[in-house]
């Protein structure tokens, strides 16, 4: 009750909002740091869904509205704060003033009722107004929170406040003759909300993202990411707001020659991936009964490549009593079994003690157009005390997968958590699908080698990795 009164007090004592400058151009407001014109707002649309009769009020320089239940359309959710995310110095009695907004693949956004500050990873960011608690609902400062969720907030001439997810980046890369374009968004793309079109002269392929606003300068973003040989097929990539209120963002690929585009199903729905091939080319297919799903579940329809590190003449890191290659293969085989039982088709780069080049592993995964690639390794270091599990990713499309697998692997292993890192390991840098490399433990650590020599422990590790993949698919599919 005290908290509620405090919140109401802070609103009624801060009637500082007064800006009519944008009345003649109501659609112009919405950029973080500018004052929104509440006079024109009549309804709210979140992620393309109009919410009628949503209460709003002015709080300092922002619009407050109880939109926490609609955050899913922006790829976020609200929950009680995890105590480990609280800012330093927070007393136990203050904890119930905090809550957090969860954004997949990112550190949670921690907010405090009555305080115009957001905390991300312990660092504070000022808000235009404080979140409030009124009548049992959390009211969020819309224009402050939207950019922190990667969303845009703009007011249409008809008085609708549009809060939309945005296009975050466009990347073009070419591996072994396969040209892939990935477009990442700030929230999952609903089914049927991307339309593809082509023109022959000049050759172009475009994609309309309905309900998505612009979140970046696509040209600049793409030019940095395009590999040089991708320029043979693509002259440039453009992005623009094709239609406003409701928004549609169009991504255009200006081609140097006609190409066929095939949309690749992605487990992470914040990613839209397209393979570009010359007309008449067909994708390779495989069918092997050993790879087929053995059960049904959250991985139905997924093709996963499991890559057992090293093999043959490449022993991998030596322990005191064993080699990395043998544990990697055993964990990979167990991982395959678990993934198949959840409904996935699983292809292994090796299922015996064979040497395969890194290039061969990448080529295998890309040619089979897998949805996910996971490479299993054990770590090693000069100090035998170094310990723990870690997961690496390289491309931004792989980050969410890495976090989910590391969380689950960490829980399964019971070892120190070395976390998730971005690193340019060959197999995860050159594969076209979400790809990770796991280091389940340190074989150079005698205690951890003793653990991994136990079949039951290897089974635990495999189950942990499989569960992480399943969690990822469940969350982002």
Partner 1 sequence: MTQDNQTNFRPLPVILMVLILAAVALGGWWLKTQQAESSATKIPITSSVPPVKTPDKNAHSLTLYIPNENAMLEKHPLKLEDGTSTHFADLSKLAFSTLMQKVPYNFPKGTKLLHVKTGDNGIAILDFNSNFNDASFWHGSSTTLMAVYSIVDTITTLPADDFKAQQVQFLIEGKPIAVLGELDMQDPLKPDMQWVQKN
The minimum distance between CB 360 and partner 1, in angstroms, equals 13
| Total binding residues toward partner 1, as defined by CB under 8 A | 32
- Residue 404 sits in the site that holds partner 1 (CB under 8 A): no
Q: What are phi and psi of 371, to 5 degrees?
A: -85, -30
Go through the chain and tell me how many residues it has.
477
C-alpha to C-alpha distance for 155 and 177, rounded to whole angstroms: 45
Give the residue among 63, 129, 60, 131 at the shortest CA–CA distance from 100.
Answer: 131
CA atoms within 13 A on the CB side of 174: 13
Q: Per CB under 8 A, does 326 bind partner 1?
A: no
State phi, psi for 125 to the nearest 5 degrees: -130, 130
Q: Is 392 in the site for partner 1 (CB under 8 A)?
A: yes
Pattern 429-468, partner 1, x by CB under 8 A: xx------x-x--xxx------------------------
Out of 131, 165, 390, 434, name the contact with partner 1 by CB under 8 A.
390
DSSP H helical segments within 118-253, as ranges?
Answer: 142-148, 218-225
Of the candidates 47, 50, 27, 51, the residue with the CA atom closest to the CA atom of residue 37:
27
309 binds partner 1 (CB under 8 A): yes
* Cα separation, 318 vs 380, whole angstroms: 8
Q: Could you give the string, one character per residue 346-365, with x where binding to partner 1 holds by CB under 8 A and - elsewhere? A: ------------x-------
Nearest distance, CB of residue 323 and partner 1, angstroms: 10
Q: Does 224 bind partner 1 (CB under 8 A)?
A: no
With beta carbons less than 8 A apart as the criterion, state whether 152 and 70 touch: no
Q: Which of 421, 447, 454, 455 binds partner 1 (CB under 8 A)?
A: 421
Distance CA 361, CA 306 (A): 10
Q: In angstroms, give the least distance from the CB of 392 to partner 1.
A: 7
| Cβ-based nearer residue to partner 1, 330 or 448 | 448
Closest by CA to 403, choosing from 138, 104, 163, is 104
| Pair 245, 156: CB distance under 8 Å | yes
Minimum distance of partner 1 from residue 442's CB (angstroms): 7
Nearer to partner 1, 271 or 443 (CB): 443
By CB under 8 A, tell whether 135 contacts partner 1: no
Please give the residue ranges that form the binding site for partner 1 (CB under 8 A). Answer: 309, 314, 316-318, 324, 358, 377-383, 385-386, 390, 392, 421-427, 429-430, 437, 439, 442-444
């Amino acid at each position: 009750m005290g908290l509620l009164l405090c919140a109401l007090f802070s609103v009624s004592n801060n009637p500082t909002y007064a800006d009519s400058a944008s009345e003649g151009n109501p659609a112009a407001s919405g950029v973080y740091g500018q004052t929104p014109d509440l006079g024109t707002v009549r309804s709210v649309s979140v992620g393309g869904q109009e919410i009628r009769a949503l209460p709003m009020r002015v709080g300092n320089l922002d619009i407050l509205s109880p939109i926490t239940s609609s955050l899913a359309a922006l790829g976020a959710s609200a929950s009680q704060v995890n105590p480990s995310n609280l800012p330093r110095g927070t007393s136990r009695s203050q904890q119930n003033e905090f809550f957090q907004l969860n954004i997949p693949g990112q550190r949670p956004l921690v907010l405090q009722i009555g305080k115009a500050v957001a905390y991300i990873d312990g660092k504070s960011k000022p808000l235009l107004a404080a979140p409030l608690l009124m009548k049992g609902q959390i009211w969020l400062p819309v224009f402050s929170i939207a950019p922190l969720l990667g969303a845009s907030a703009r007011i249409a001439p008809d008085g609708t406040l549009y809060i939309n997810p945005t296009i975050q980046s466009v990347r073009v890369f070419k591996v072994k003759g396969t040209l892939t374009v990935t477009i990442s968004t700030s929230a999952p793309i609903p089914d049927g909300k991307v339309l593809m079109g082509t023109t022959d002269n000049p050759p172009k392929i475009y994609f309309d993202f309905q309900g998505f606003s612009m979140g970046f300068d696509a040209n600049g973003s793409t030019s940095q990411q395009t590999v040089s040989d991708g320029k043979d097929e693509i002259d440039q990539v453009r992005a623009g707001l094709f239609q406003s209120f409701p928004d549609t963002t169009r991504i255009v690929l200006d081609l140097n020659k006609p190409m066929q585009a095939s949309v690749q199903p992605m487990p992470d729905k914040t990613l839209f991936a397209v393979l570009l091939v010359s007309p008449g080319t067909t994708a390779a297919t495989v069918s092997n009964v050993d790879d087929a799903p053995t059960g049904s579940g959250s991985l139905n329809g997924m093709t996963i490549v499991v890559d057992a590190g090293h093999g043959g003449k490449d022993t991998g890191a030596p322990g005191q009593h064993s080699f990395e290659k043998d544990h990697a293969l055993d964990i990979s085989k167990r991982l395959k079994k678990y993934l198949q039982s959840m409904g996935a088709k699983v292809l292994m780069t090796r299922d015996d003690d064979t040497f395969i080049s890194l290039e061969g592993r990448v080529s295998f995964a890309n040619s089979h157009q897998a949805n996910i690639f996971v490479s299993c390794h054990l770590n090693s270091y000069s100090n035998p005390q170094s310990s723990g599990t870690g997961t690496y990713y390289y491309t931004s499309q792989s980050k969410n997968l890495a976090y989910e697998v590391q969380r689950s692997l960490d829980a399964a292993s019971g070892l120190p958590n070395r976390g998730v890192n971005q690193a340019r390991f060959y197999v995860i840098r050159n594969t076209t699908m979400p790809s990770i490399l796991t280091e389940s433990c340190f074989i150079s650590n005698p205690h951890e080698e003793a653990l991994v020599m136990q079949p039951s422990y290897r089974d635990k590790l495999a189950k942990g990795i499989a569960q992480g993949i399943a969690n990822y698919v469940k969350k982002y599919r």
